[in-house]
Amino acid sequence: MKIIVAGCGRVGSGLARALSLRHHAVTVVDVDPDAFQRLGKHFPGRTVTGSAVDRETLASAGAERADGVAAATGSDEVNVACARIALHTFHVPRVVARLHDPRRERST
């Protein structure tokens, strides 16, 4: 499966590594290019520097062909917006968003 992980913090990088170990094609998106160091030297996937809420960035990450998107940035607002764009603009079939505030669950 082709998976995009938005956010390369502790959660996003761990998810990306775990998915790649299961032989998924993983692309990680983050605004901070230094964050990709968390993936390790042998991470087999792609990295894209940019905002997870920017349509061009998501297109560069392959959102048109993605089987899934996991929005795992540190911001609930960014994660909800990323999930909405993935669902409604790119029609990605499987989308999850990490949310700290459960009241935001219904906003996607």
Q: At 27, is the secondary structure helix, strand, or coil? A: strand
How many angstroms separate the CA atoms of 18 and 15, rounded? 5
Q: Shortest CA distance to 70 belongs to which of 30, 106, 16, 10?
A: 16
Reported as a single tens digit per residue, the pLDDT across 21-67 is 999 999 999 999 999 999 999 999 999 999 999 999 999 999 999 99
Q: Shortest CA distance to 97 belongs to which of 89, 50, 87?
A: 87
How many angstroms separate the CA atoms of 72 and 98, rounded? 5
In the chain, the domains with their CATH numbers are 2-107 (3.40.50.720)
- Please give the mean pLDDT across all residues of the chain: 95
Res. 20 pLDDT band, cuts 50 70 90: very high
Element (H, E) at 21: helix 10-21
Residue 52 CB neighbour total at 10 angstroms: 28
Q: At 74, is the secondary structure helix, strand, or coil? A: coil
How many angstroms separate the CA atoms of 27 and 69, rounded? 10
